[in-house]
């Protein structure tokens, strides 16, 4: 994602004496930001969103504190900062600032004696945002270093919606995991993938043997084991 992805762009045009003039109007997408603040979105990776949003907030605060020309309004910045804080919290990155808008940022810098120095405001913003940028960059590097294995199949998904959703969530959680607790949660998502697969492929009419009772979905070994046995028997002994 890029900072520009947090804006909607509408094409405007006029026809004056048969000469068309066109332009675009960009507005901060409050609806998208609100959804992202409440929970992770399937089409917006938290790490990518945090990197884009932190850059947007940093750049606009620096513009406001120096030469002007910021893209966001006072209200927009408030929404952006709240969303950034929520997304960073999901990533395990701390972030706090003593202001919630451009106006309150100005009040803060006056109180801190930065009224007559653009450089002091730049330095202050750097002290707030640079650690966040560095941590997010490191998380991105760790993601590249520890990717889940690519599937053997050339297909990008199974076609079973519930199974694909569980796999996508597993990959998302694994890509942002950094603590033992995070990796324990990844283990739980692995179980979720197996249970989704169990519910999808197990058919009692075909797979339940006479005299047996249907195993519950979480008994994946009992439900999936008989289905896999024919495949295992076809493998060479050294591949089992």
Q: Could you read off the pLDDT of 207-219 as tens digits, one per residue?
A: 777 777 887 877 7
pLDDT band at 203 (very low <50, low <70, confident <90, very high): confident
Q: How far is CA 139 from the centre of its chain?
A: 12
Q: What is the pLDDT of residue 34?
A: 96
Residue 53 is encoded by which pair of tokens?
A: 């949003």
Q: What is the pLDDT of residue 146?
A: 58
Which tens digits make up the pLDDT trace of 42-60?
888 899 999 999 999 999 9
What global pTM score does this model have? 0.60
pLDDT band at 176 (very low <50, low <70, confident <90, very high): low
pLDDT band at 169 (very low <50, low <70, confident <90, very high): confident
8 has pLDDT over 60: yes
Say how far apart CA 199 and CA 185 lie, in whole Å.
21
3-state SS, residue 51:
helix
Say how far apart CA 33 and CA 10 lie, in whole Å.
18
DSSP result, 174-240: HHH--SHHHHHHHHHHHHHHHHHHHHHH--HHHHPPTTPPPPPTT-HHHHHHHHHHHHHHHS-GGG-
Residue 193 is encoded by which pair of tokens?
A: 């993938």
Q: What is the pLDDT of residue 238?
A: 43
CB-based contacts of 198, cutoff 8 Å, min separation 6:
217, 218, 219, 220, 223, 224
Residue 232 is encoded by which pair of tokens?
A: 């295992």
Residue 189 is encoded by which pair of tokens?
A: 């998502």
Residue 201 is encoded by which pair of tokens?
A: 């492929």
Q: What is the dihedral of CA 53, 58, 61, 67, to 10 degrees?
A: -120
Question: Per-residue pLDDT averaged across 76-101, rounded?
Answer: 95
Radius of gyration for the chain, computed over Cα atoms and rounded to the nearest angstrom? 26
Say how far apart CA 222 and CA 195 lie, in whole Å.
12
Q: What is the pLDDT of residue 132?
A: 96
Residue 4: count of CB within 10 angstroms of its CB: 11
What are the structural domain ranges in the chain?
A: 3-145, 161-239
Helical spans, DSSP H, in 92-176: 102-111, 118-145, 161-176
157 has pLDDT over 90: no
User: Do 47 and 143 meet the contact criterion of CB atoms below 8 Å apart?
Assistant: yes
């Amino acid at each position: 994602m890029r900072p520009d992805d947090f804006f909607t762009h509408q094409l405007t045009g006029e026809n004056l004496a048969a000469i068309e003039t066109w332009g675009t109007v960009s507005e901060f997408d409050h609806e998208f930001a609100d959804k992202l603040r409440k929970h992770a979105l399937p089409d917006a990776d938290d790490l990518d969103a945090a990197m884009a949003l932190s850059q947007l907030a940093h750049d606009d605060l620096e513009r406001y504190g120096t030469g002007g020309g910021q893209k966001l309004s006072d209200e927009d910045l408030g929404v952006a900062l709240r969303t950034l804080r929520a997304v960073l919290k999901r990533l395990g990155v701390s972030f706090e600032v003593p202001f919630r808008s451009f106006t309150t940022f100005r009040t803060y810098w006056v109180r801190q004696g930065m009224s007559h120095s653009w450089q002091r405001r730049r330095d202050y913003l750097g002290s707030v945002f640079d650690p966040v940028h560095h941590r997010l960059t490191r998380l991105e590097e760790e993601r590249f270093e520890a990717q889940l294995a690519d599937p053997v199949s050339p297909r990008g998904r199974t076609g079973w919606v519930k199974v694909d959703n569980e796999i996508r969530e597993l990959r998302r959680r694994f890509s942002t995991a950094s603590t033992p607790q995070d990796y324990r949660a990844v283990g739980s998502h692995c179980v979720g993938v197996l249970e989704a697969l169990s519910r999808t492929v197990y058919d009692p009419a075909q797979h339940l043997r006479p005299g047996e009772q249907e195993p519950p979905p979480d008994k994946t070994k009992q439900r999936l084991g008989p289905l896999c046995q024919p495949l295992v028997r076809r493998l060479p002994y050294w591949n089992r």
